[in-house]
């Protein structure tokens, strides 16, 4: 076979392998991913058994009972009293976790509430690792 | 000082913009013989503009650092990122814990490294350098522009508060002092080969010269970025209270991606230097690395991805996006229009050659980078395609990264034994027989010793042993050859061998380090044992083959040097017994005071940020790691009652009130120690995790050896390749 044709064949083979692998990657990503949802969307359409990545703010008044942490997640810009998702979570609680902080947690619907996947809780750092303006805080 | 800082930033921006103009104008003038002299003067002036930008950025940074060290709270940045109770060491690091400060650090490092390369190349690469100067100064101008117009580090706070908020407690870790400057050095150093590649493309000077000149900078970038990534992993392991070192977080991935493409470039650049091949690939790789380095900064600063590092809304997203799109479009245009000048001078002679091994290693590294890129950006991709934001977690990354990592470690063992152009099967068999036997033997011994059947991890252990044997054999061959030529002792021969050919043997040491590091990762991620146990003092539990006993609760008020309260630390003393071996660990949780007085006069001392102080028993075979979550319900009750009392006693003189408050806190901490409350412990037994840090240290040593300047005489000898060939032939004979 002429070297040129041989090289072209090799190149086509390599490209086909790359396309196949990329296809597998794309397919598995969609099937392995979990949907990121807001509290309102989750409360409206949660299916039992399916996992969701819930994003929102922690309502004040969370508590630890035994090894489980019970907290409620509300919309980022929600007022007090707006609907919130009750989450029961076991596993690592990140150090910055506290009321009014934004969290991301993978949850599944169970009975009336939601159960957090072990060790899936992430607390977003307060804006840019920046604390509040001391003057505003003091006033 | 605030005004001086702002003025200096504007001056730095002016220098950078002038330098871009001077370099490009000079390059144009130099094309005509009549104006060549003037052109050279303009180019030199552009280069000096870089030095001036650097000098100005250093002064700017010094002004900011001085404000942090002096606790000058009229600087908004200081008031929001430091306090008088923040230890001096962390006050100094406070400058780059902020967005504005870290952007200033970017400008300082970028202009510093750029000044160094422009000084070194002042009499070389005369055609390429002006365009590279323009690119580097363009980047400096971009970052200066951000600091002048969007994120000034010199914003005034009026009236200046008496006390600042303090550095976020989770950043109070020694690694944080070096981690950001290292990462940013990595990012900025990678822009140097990027800029020279652009210069080479513009001027069509696409030979090996620009690669040879910028190679030390690419290597330094790779090294700094690697150190930054490892320090970040170490910080995560010992500070974040979850015991992991890698979470496939968007920002971690952002630093890893340019490191991977940079590693690929360092390998494939050798093929271009030696054989004039892979020119398109090399130039594309370094352009991609430069863009990924800026993308890394963008991911940290824009907040477009959900991440622990995502700092919420930011004003920097759009300008960064414009910069990245411009870099990408410019790079694609230049590579496409220079395709004819980028043709290979040679073809691959054989698939059994060092070139082929390097090529395969490049494909694996780029595939790794693509997988990580895809997983990191999947939330944005899925939102664009399906309208729903979806994301993937660590198991997804593990599924793809683990097999690619295995191939990579295998190749790091195969590369050193393959010769350039064409290796013979017979030689290869001879060189690989012992390492392959050692690798297989390791797996068999481990299985016989009762190690659980985990194919991925076992394969990594086998491959690790294989690579270490290959490197050991290569070193031994060299030593033998030296001893055959000169009467040297083994240690002298070894030192001389490595010293005389640092680039080659430094590379082998890096390979050995990578193998050790991956063995550590495979063992600690596959066989780690995580438990959460709730104990009361005196109670014990069996964890990962050890008996842990919660001996007693601990409590302490930590006072800063100025007498103010820095933090309250509640924790536990834990006895870890493994046979006769008994260790005492003291995990704790630090509570920093909240800046908000409305939290209550007493409660505020428990309502601020809280961080885990881990108890760690490091060992060669395994680490025992533990954190504690003290149950503070009783203290919360006391604090609330204290708040009510202090509210009624607001009329008390300040000094008396402070003394009473101090006494109350002391008694509360004492009550915690005496009341024996239960606590929840997270324990983690991680086998061989120490070898990750040891492996990184070996990689770092090998990298430094490669980077260390070689004396001119020795460089000539190496370039001739004579010594290396003789050593190899004698070794194989």
- pLDDT tens column, B173-208: 888 788 889 999 999 999 999 999 999 999 999 888
| Partner B contacted by A35 (CB < 8 A) | yes
Q: Is B449 within a domain?
A: yes
Say yes or no to pLDDT of B17 above 70.
yes
**pLDDT (mean) for B148-156:** 90
Same domain flag for B199 and B100? no
Say yes or no to pLDDT of B324 above 80.
yes
pLDDT of the residue at B8: 95
Same domain flag for B298 and B242? yes
Are B311 and A129 in contact (CB < 8 Å)?
yes
**pLDDT (mean) for B583-589:** 93
Say yes or no to pLDDT of A114 above 70.
yes
Instruction: Select from A124, A127, A133 the Cβ nearest to the Cβ of B308.
Output: A124
Q: Is B419 within a domain?
A: no
Angle made by CA atoms A27, A29, A35, in degrees to the nearest 5: 120
Same domain flag for B330 and B191? yes
Measured torsion, CA atoms of residues B656, B660, B662, B667, in degrees rounded to the nearest 10: 160
Are B374 and A25 in contact (CB < 8 Å)?
yes
**pLDDT (mean) for B144-172:** 87
pLDDT of the residue at B354: 85
Distance in angstroms (rounded) separating the CA atoms of residues B223 and B704: 8
Q: Which residues pair with A114 in a beta bridge?
A: A87, A109
Q: Kindly report, residue by residue over B409-435, the tens digit of the pLDDT.
A: 999 999 888 888 777 888 888 889 999
Q: Which residues pair with B613 in a beta bridge?
A: B588
Cβ(B243)–Cβ(B625) under 8 Å? Answer: yes
Q: Is B678 within a domain?
A: yes
Are B400 and A25 in contact (CB < 8 Å)?
yes
Q: Is 0.80 surpassed by the pTM of this model? A: yes
Which helix (H) or strand (E) segment is B540 a member of?
A: strand B540-543
Judged by average pLDDT, the poorest of B135-149, B187-201, B341-355 is B341-355
pLDDT of the residue at B437: 96
Best of A116, A134, A137, A139 to substitute, by most chain B Cβ atoms within 10 angstroms, is A134
Judged by average pLDDT, the poorest of B183-197, B268-282, B318-332, B700-714 is B700-714
pLDDT top residue among B128 and B382: B128
Same domain flag for B518 and B533? no
pLDDT of the residue at B645: 87
Strand pairing class (A113-116; A84-90):
parallel
The fraction of chain B above a pLDDT of 90, given in percent, is 51
pLDDT of the residue at B610: 84
Q: Is B285 within a domain?
A: yes
Say yes or no to pLDDT of B310 above 50.
no
**pLDDT (mean) for B452-475:** 95
Same domain flag for B132 and B152? yes
Partners of residue A102 in chain B, C-beta under 8 Å? 312
Which of B151, B168, B185 is a domain's end point? B168
Same domain flag for B156 and B191? no
Which of B117, B136, B168 is a domain's end point? B168
Are B312 and A95 in contact (CB < 8 Å)?
no
Name the domain count of chain B: 4
**pLDDT (mean) for B285-298:** 92
CA distance A53 to chain B (A): 8
pLDDT top residue among B405 and B300: B405
Question: Domain residues for B133?
Answer: 1-168
Instruction: Supply A31's token pair.
Output: 């099937």
Q: What residue has token string 């006390």?
A: B163
Which helix (H) or strand (E) segment is B332 a member of?
A: helix B317-337
pLDDT of the residue at A2: 63
Same domain flag for B443 and B535? no
Q: Is B637 within a domain?
A: yes
Partners of residue B371 in chain A, C-beta under 8 Å? 25
Nearby residues of B370 by Cβ (< 8 Å), 6 or more positions away? A22
Same domain flag for B204 and B285? yes
pLDDT of the residue at B720: 53
**pLDDT (mean) for B125-130:** 91
Interface confidence, given as ipTM, is 0.75
Q: Is B398 within a domain?
A: no
Are B629 and A93 in contact (CB < 8 Å)?
yes
CA distance A27 to chain B (A): 12
Instruction: Select from A33, A125, A129 the Cβ nearest to the Cβ of B378.
Output: A33
pLDDT of the residue at B227: 95
Which pLDDT band, with edges at 50, 70 and 90, does B32 fall under?
confident
Say yes or no to pLDDT of B688 above 60.
yes
Q: What residue has token string 């595939």?
A: B367
Q: Radius of gyration of chain A from Cα atoms?
A: 23
Nearby residues of A54 by Cβ (< 8 Å), 6 or more positions away? A36, A37, A38, A39, A42, A73, A85, A87, A103, A104, A105, A106, A107, A114
Distance in angstroms (rounded) separating the CA atoms of residues B603 and B618: 36
Same domain flag for B153 and B222? no
Distance in angstroms (rounded) separating the CA atoms of residues B133 and B16: 10
Q: Is B664 within a domain?
A: yes
pLDDT of the residue at A125: 60
Same domain flag for B682 and B542? yes
Instruction: Select from A128, A133, A134 the Cβ nearest to the Cβ of B99.
Output: A128
Partners of residue A126 in chain B, C-beta under 8 Å? 168, 312
Q: Is B234 within a domain?
A: yes
Same domain flag for B130 and B190? no
Partners of residue A128 in chain B, C-beta under 8 Å? 98-99, 311-312, 314
Same domain flag for B627 and B669? yes
């Amino acid at each position: 076979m002429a070297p040129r044709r041989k090289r072209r064949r090799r190149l086509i083979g390599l490209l086909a392998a790359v396309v196949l692998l990329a296809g597998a990657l794309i397919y598995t990503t969609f099937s392995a991913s979990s949907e990121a949802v807001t509290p309102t969307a989750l409360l409206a359409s949660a299916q039992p058994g399916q996992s969701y990545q819930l994003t929102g703010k922690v309502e004040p008044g969370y508590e630890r009972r035994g090894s489980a942490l019970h907290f409620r997640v509300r919309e980022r810009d929600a007022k007090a009293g707006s609907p919130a998702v009750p989450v029961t979570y076991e596993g690592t609680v990140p150090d910055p976790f506290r009321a009014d902080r934004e969290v991301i947690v993978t949850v599944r619907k169970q009975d009336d509430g939601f159960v957090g996947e072990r060790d899936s809780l992430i607390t977003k750092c307060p804006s840019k690792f920046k604390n509040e303006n001391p003057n505003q805080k003091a006033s | 000082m605030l005004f001086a800082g702002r003025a200096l930033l504007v001056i730095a921006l002016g220098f950078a913009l002038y330098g871009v103009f001077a370099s490009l104008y000079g390059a144009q003038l130099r094309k005509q013989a009549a104006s060549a002299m003037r052109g050279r003067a303009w180019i030199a002036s552009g280069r000096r503009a870089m030095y001036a930008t650097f000098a100005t950025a250093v002064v700017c940074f010094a002004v900011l650092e001085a404000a942090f060290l002096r606790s000058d709270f009229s600087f908004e940045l200081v008031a929001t990122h430091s306090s008088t109770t923040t230890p001096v060491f962390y006050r100094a690091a406070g400058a780059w814990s902020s967005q504005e400060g870290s952007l200033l650090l970017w400008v300082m490092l970028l202009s510093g490294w750029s000044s160094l390369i422009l000084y070194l190349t002042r009499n070389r690469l005369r055609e390429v350098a002006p365009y590279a100067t323009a690119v580097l100064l363009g980047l400096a101008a971009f970052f200066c522009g951000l600091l002048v117009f969007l994120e000034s580090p010199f914003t005034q706070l009026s009236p200046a508060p008496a006390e600042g908020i303090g550095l976020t407690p989770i950043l109070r870790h020694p690694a944080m002092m070096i981690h950001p400057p290292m990462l940013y050095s990595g990012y900025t150093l990678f822009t140097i080969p990027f800029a020279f590649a652009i210069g080479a493309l513009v001027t069509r000077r696409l030979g090996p010269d620009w690669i040879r000149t910028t190679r030390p900078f690419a290597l330094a970038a790779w090294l700094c970025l690697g150190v930054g990534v490892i320090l970040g992993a170490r910080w995560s392991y010992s500070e974040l209270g979850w015991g992991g070192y890698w979470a496939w977080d968007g920002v971690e991935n952002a630093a890893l991606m340019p490191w991977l493409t940079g590693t690929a470039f360092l390998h494939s650049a050798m093929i271009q230097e030696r054989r004039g091949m892979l020119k398109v690939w090399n130039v594309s790789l370094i352009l991609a690395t430069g863009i990924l380095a800026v993308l890394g900064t963008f991911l940290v600063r824009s907040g477009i991805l959900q991440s622990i590092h995502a700092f919420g809304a930011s004003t920097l997203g759009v300008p960064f996006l414009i910069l990245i799109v411009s870099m990408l479009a410019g790079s694609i245009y230049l590579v496409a229009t220079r395709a004819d000048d980028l043709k290979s001078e040679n073809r691959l002679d054989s698939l059994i050659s060092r070139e082929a091994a390097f090529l395969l290693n490049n494909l694996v590294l780029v595939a790794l980078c693509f997988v990580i890129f895809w997983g990191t950006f999947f939330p944005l991709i899925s939102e664009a395609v399906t309208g729903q934001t979806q994301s993937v977690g660590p198991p997804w990354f593990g599924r793809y990264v683990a097999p690619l990592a295995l191939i990579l470690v295998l190749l790091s063992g195969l590369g050193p034994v393959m010769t350039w152009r064409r290796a013979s099967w017979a030689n290869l068999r001879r060189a690989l027989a012992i390492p392959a036997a050692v690798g297989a033997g390791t797996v068999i011994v481990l299985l016989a010793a009762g190690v659980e059947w985990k194919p991925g991890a076992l394969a990594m252990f086998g491959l690790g042993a294989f690579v270490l044997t290959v490197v050991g054999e290569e070193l031994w061959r060299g030593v033998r050859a030296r001893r055959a030529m000169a009467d040297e002792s083994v240690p002298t021969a070894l030192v001389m061998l490595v010293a005389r050919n640092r680039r080659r043997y430094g590379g082998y040491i890096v390979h050995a380090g990578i193998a050790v590091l991956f063995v550590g990762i495979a063992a600690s991620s596959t066989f780690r044992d995580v438990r959460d146990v709730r104990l009361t003092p005196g109670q014990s539990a069996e964890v990962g083959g050890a008996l842990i006993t919660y001996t007693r609760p601990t409590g302490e008020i930590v006072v800063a040097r100025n007498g103010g309260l820095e933090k309250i630390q509640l924790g536990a003393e834990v006895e870890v017994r493994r046979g006769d071996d008994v260790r005492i660990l003291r995990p704790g949780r630090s509570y920093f005071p909240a800046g908000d007085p409305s939290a209550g006069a007493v409660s505020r001392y428990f309502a601020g940020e809280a961080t885990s102080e881990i108890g760690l028993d490091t060992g060669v075979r395994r680490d025992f790691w533990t954190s504690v979550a003290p149950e503070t319900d009783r203290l919360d009750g006391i604090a609330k009652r204290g708040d009510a009392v202090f509210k009624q006693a607001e009329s008390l003189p300040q000094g008396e009130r402070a003394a009473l408050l101090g006494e109350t806190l002391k008694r509360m901490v004492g009550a915690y120690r005496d009341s024996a409350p239960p606590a929840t412990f997270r324990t983690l037994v991680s086998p061989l995790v120490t070898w990750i840090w040891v492996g990184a240290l070996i990689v770092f040593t090998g990298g430094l050896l490669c980077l260390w300047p070689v004396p001119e005489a020795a460089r000539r000898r190496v370039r001739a390749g004579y010594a290396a060939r003789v050593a190899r032939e004698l070794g194989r004979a």
